[in-house]
Amino acid sequence: MDTKFLDTIHKLIAEGELDIAVERLNETLTSAPPILRREATLLKARVAAANRKARMGHLTLEQHATQMSQLTSAALELLDEIPKLVDRARLPVDQPPSRDPSPTAETLEKIIGDNRLVSIAWLHRALAAASSVCLVQTPRGSGTAFVVQPGRILTNHHVLPSREVAGKSQFVFNFEEDANGRLHEPTFYNCDSSSYRGDAFLDYAAVDLLPATETSPSVETLTPLRASTANLPNPGDYVCIIQHPSGGPKKIAVSENQVVHVYEHRLQYVTDTKPGSSGSPVFDDDWNVVALHHAGGQMVRDASGTRHFVNEGVLLKHIADH
């Protein structure tokens, strides 16, 4: 990637045109490594949110100036990182498509399946469930998490492997697009690392959230998802995943998402995921969470002998009993 455009971005920032600078940055990074696109997209969302609050009178001129100063610093730090990440991408070895910290033997997330018809009511329930799913940004990469109890989220152990990592991570809700393709204003939370609980074998981690700022909504406003630990899916049943693929805006897999195997503590299914989906909720067709998504890219045979690339989740029943 040609990094000469950095001079133009620096000039725009120096002229006080931060919003134009981040817009130009996002346009230029369309073919950049996923981590750069993710950081640029989130920066754009934060700048837009600050400007929107100022226009609506929710920020004083002084508060807006303070936020823009902080965002300017964040933009300059990102610009400093771009040459390093670009050089890394040029190394003569195969590079992973993102920095999602998934298990090394199972990092390939497959995109498979055909579309199916769903009702509008089903989509409304999907939107309601989506509000409880968030992006996890850690020092090691990104993942997805969801609310399981008031103020408490669940994700993968390989996303949050320790209290230390959890304490340095950020949890971003509402990072999604509206009907016009514009990003919503995201809501940021930190966590109480002392509440951390996790298990490497079942690949889960749970932690209590804390508002990131005085203006952040209370964690009590986050709605826990409904869990199903008694009625397990059967092969052939449909499942869906709401996720933040590659650390980007929230998406939902609505293609032919069928269960292939249910055994021990695992659920295997054919559905669309990408790196960054680790920690996503796996829903049954009634929008109950049945599993915690954690890996993909495995080749298995179903009962008829047909070979499938499948994704895998840990059954919520086994996590609840742990």
3-state secondary structure of 50: helix
Could you give the CA distance from residue 104 to residue 106 in angstroms, rounded to a whole number? 6
* pLDDT exceeds cutoff 70 at 115: no
Task: Quote the distance between the C-alpha of residue 48 and its chain's center.
Answer: 20
User: For 11-20, 61-70, 150-159, 190-199, which range has the lowest pLDDT when averaged over its residues?
Assistant: 61-70
pLDDT of residue 277: 84
CATH topology (fold) of 98-322: Thrombin, subunit H (2.40.10)
Q: Where are the domains positioned within the chain?
A: 5-89, 98-322
Number of residues written out for the chain: 322
Backbone angles phi, psi at 269, to 5 degrees: -150, 155
* pLDDT exceeds cutoff 70 at 174: yes
Question: pLDDT above 90 covers what percent of the chain?
Answer: 36
Could you give the CA distance from residue 210 to residue 207 in angstroms, rounded to a whole number? 10
Q: Which residues pair with 63 in a beta bridge?
A: none
pLDDT of residue 86: 56
Question: pLDDT above 70 covers what percent of the chain?
Answer: 79
Rg (the chain; Cα; Å) = 20
Sign of the CA dihedral running 264, 270, 275, 280: negative
As a whole number, mean pLDDT of residues 84-103 equals: 42
Predicted TM-score of the model (pTM): 0.63
